[in-house]
Amino acid sequence: MTRPALTFYEFFAGGGMARLGLGAGWTCLFANDFDPVKAATYRDNHPADDFRAGDVWALGAADLPGQADLAWASSPCQDFSLAGGRAGLAGGRSSAFFGFWALIEGLAAEGRAPQVLVIENVSGLLSSNGGADFTALGEALAGQGYGFGALEIDAADFLPQSRPRVFVIATRSPPAPGLVGGSRYQTRAVRAAAERLPPHLAERWIWWALDAPPARNLDLAALLEDDAAVAWHTPERTAQWLAMMAPLHRAKLEVCRDRGERIVGAVYRRMRVEAGAKTQRAEVRFDGLAGCLRTPRGGSSRQVIVVVEGGCVRTRLLRPREAARLMGLPDSYRLPKAATSALHVTGDGVAAPVVRWLARELLEPLLGMAQISYRSA
Q: What is the pLDDT of residues 225-252, one digit of tens each?
A: 999 999 999 999 999 999 999 999 999 9
* Cα(316)–Cα(337) distance, integer angstroms: 19
* Cα(315)–Cα(374) distance, integer angstroms: 57
* Cα(220)–Cα(269) distance, integer angstroms: 18
* Cα(39)–Cα(41) distance, integer angstroms: 5
Beta bridge partners of 33: 53
pLDDT of residue 295: 82
pLDDT of residue 24: 92
Query: Please, are residues 245 and 284 in contact by the beta-carbon 8 Å criterion?
Result: yes
Task: Kindly tell me if the per-residue pLDDT of 377 is higher than 60.
Answer: no
* Cα(366)–Cα(368) distance, integer angstroms: 5
C-alpha torsion angle, residues 149, 27, 211, 162 (rounded to 10):
-90
Q: Is 375 left (phi over 0), alpha (psi -120 to 50) or beta?
A: alpha
Give the three-class secondary structure for 160: coil
pLDDT of residue 274: 86
CA neighbor of 106 nearest in space, from 142, 59, 151: 59
- pLDDT of 247-274, one tens digit each? 999 999 999 999 989 999 999 888 888 8
Of 86-95, 187-196, 363-372, which gets the smallest average pLDDT?
86-95
Of 78-82, 125-129, 186-190, which gets the smallest average pLDDT?
78-82
Task: Kindly tell me if the per-residue pLDDT of 373 is higher than 50.
Answer: no
CA neighbor of 6 nearest in space, from 15, 18, 23: 23
Give the three-class secondary structure for 121: strand
Rounded mean pLDDT, 188-217: 97
pLDDT of residue 79: 53
pLDDT of residue 273: 86
Please provide the average confidence, as pLDDT, over all residues in the chain: 90
pLDDT of residue 91: 35
Task: Kindly tell me if the per-residue pLDDT of 372 is higher than 60.
Answer: no
Full-model pTM: 0.92
Q: What structural domains and CATH numbers belong to the chain?
A: 6-213+349-374 (3.40.50.150), 226-318 (no CATH)
